[in-house]
Amino acid sequence: MKRIFTLCIALCTMATVFAQTDTTGRKVDTTKQTPDTIKIGGMVIIREAGAGGGDTVRQRSRSFNVRIGRRNNDKPADISTNWFILDLGFSNYNDQTDYSSASAQAFAPGSTDDWFKLRAFKSRSVNIWVFNQRVNLIKHVVNLKYGIGLELNNYFFEDKTIKFNKNPTLIDQSYTGLTKNKLAADYLTMPAMLNFNFTPKKNRKTYGISAGISAGYLYSARQKIKQDGDVDKTRGNFNLRKWKLSYVGEVSLGVVKLYGSYAFKSMFEKGLDLTPYNFGFRFSSW
């Protein structure tokens, strides 16, 4: 009885061993197995069953292909946000003032078109946008872009004798011996543009154009002068418009991005017809 019991155990053990060993010589089809995928940041590591090119990892008498590629980031998000964009450029204005008019002479007695000429490449525009958002409208080709930020404009005058007075509000030529004379006008601005993205499958280094309008509120204005090394600031609104509405645009050429703006009206409420405009480089991820 013991011998029969021992023989049964031996036969069962041998049957199990033969069942685990493929004696027919058939190949195991590993190509139908589901590959293992590991994503690390922007990389994808795929371990595929079956022989092929690439690095080979042998595990339990089976071969695997390890394929390393990039994650598919072609599809952009329907709403994307870009934080803290910086613009560096130049400020200027289009002077269409009629200096023979009563309003011009009342605001700037004795003024001529030479008074308000600017040092062109000295007058600067610095914009700091807290955020910009892009919303997909049509297949990521047509988008709505909007944001909020600060526009900082510095107008350096060639004629350093110009003085902005607060009481009464007028401009004269009472300064002498100045080494620097500028007018600063800062706005809290919200732009809204229609964006045409010619490379919608790229999240960065895009090519496209944007156009729209912006509304800016004058929150600070001052004249800054420098004389004998001493700097003095006079703060006031100097008859500047509280609101500035502008046409705005942007051109994206891969890593190079350009911006521009042109106001609807003069920056002054009366007397002077000086329509401001800005242009320069934009440092943004899209």
Tell me the pLDDT tens digit for each residue of 257-270. 999 999 999 999 99
Q: CA-CA distance, 281 to 251, in Å (whole number)?
A: 10
Which helix (H) or strand (E) segment holds residue 18: the answer is helix 2-20
* Cβ–Cβ under 8 Å, residues 208 and 197: yes
| pLDDT score for 120 | 83
What does the alpha-carbon distance between residue 189 and residue 262 come to, in Å, rounded to a whole number? 14
pLDDT value of residue 249: 98
pLDDT at site 61 = 45
Looking at residue 51, what is its pLDDT?
A: 47
- Digit-coded pLDDT (tens) for 34-83: 666 665 555 556 666 554 444 444 444 455 555 555 555 557 789 999 99
Q: Which domains does the chain have, with CATH numbers?
A: 29-72 (no CATH), 79-283 (2.40.160)
Compute the average pLDDT of residues 20-39.
54
d(CA 183, CA 179): 14
Neighbours of 155 (CB within 10 A): 23
Q: Give the pairing type, strands 243-253 and 230-235.
A: unpaired
